[in-house]
Amino acid sequence: MTFDDLLHLDTPAEVVAGPAVCALLIGPSAAGAAEAVAISAGMLRVGSSARIVFGLPIHTAPYPVLIASMNTERGTRLDQLSLFGWIEDHFIDEPRAEVFGLTPYGEAPVVFLRDFDLDRPPEAYVVMPHPPPGGGPERIFRRVGTIMLAGAVAPAGEDAAALAALEAVLPASTQAFVDGLRADVARGQPLRQVLRARRKTTDPALMTQCDGWRVLTRAAGMTTPSSASPP
């Protein structure tokens, strides 16, 4: 297994990176806001798109396992970003489900759901586009410390933040789909359940964006640049 095998989200976003963490800026004025954040915080703009991988914290190490796939106790293989929703629903019922992935150091530990500290949120990392040779994992990954919604007010709540992010990054042709998600969430359904109900009838690439941003807004809070501190 290599880092290329990890589950990932490819998305438009301005990336402003520091030595260990980064900020993602999305929205209609993201480019200008990214420049201002980079100057004020002494950080570096590294691109207008991002590949993001996701990890879960484990009890026995100070770093996460970055997730590639898993096998449930019943032998079903899960290898899409929707597996994070499955974990939220079933981690108590299936503690011996085996999870496959890599640490940021490239190790492939043998881990089961019971080994993860699921009281803590997932973690998200931007894969740096041109990592320098040598050094530790920080040369390849920057943890996403915050998501900044430029040109709009960041909503409260993880599901609301995910919907705002989808509205910002998806093409206008998907607006009706996002509106439908928002209506179902407004009726009190968790976003992961709304997505599960639509999975079989929705384009897989669109579902990847939805699943990825749902996890990403759990991993990093959303703010507006005017009220946010650098990550």
Q: What is the mean pLDDT of each run of 10 residues along the chain (231 residues)?
A: 94 93 94 92 90 95 95 96 96 96 92 95 90 62 94 91 96 96 96 95 96 97 70 61
107 in any annotated domain: yes
First to last CA, the chain: 31
CA-CA-CA-CA torsion sign (220, 45, 104, 208): positive
204 in any annotated domain: no
HSE at residue 201, side-chain half, CA atoms within 13 A, is 4
Domain residue limits at 89: 68-115
Q: How many domains does the chain have?
A: 1
193 in any annotated domain: no
Residue 228: the pLDDT is 45
* Cα separation, 41 vs 60, whole angstroms: 33
167 in any annotated domain: no
94 in any annotated domain: yes
105 in any annotated domain: yes
111 in any annotated domain: yes
Residue 176, token pair as written in the block: 């009706």
| Phi, psi dihedrals of residue 96, rounded to the nearest 5° | -95, 10
136 in any annotated domain: no
Q: What is the pLDDT of residues 120-177, one digit of tens each?
A: 999 999 998 766 555 566 668 999 999 999 988 889 899 999 999 999 999 999 999 9
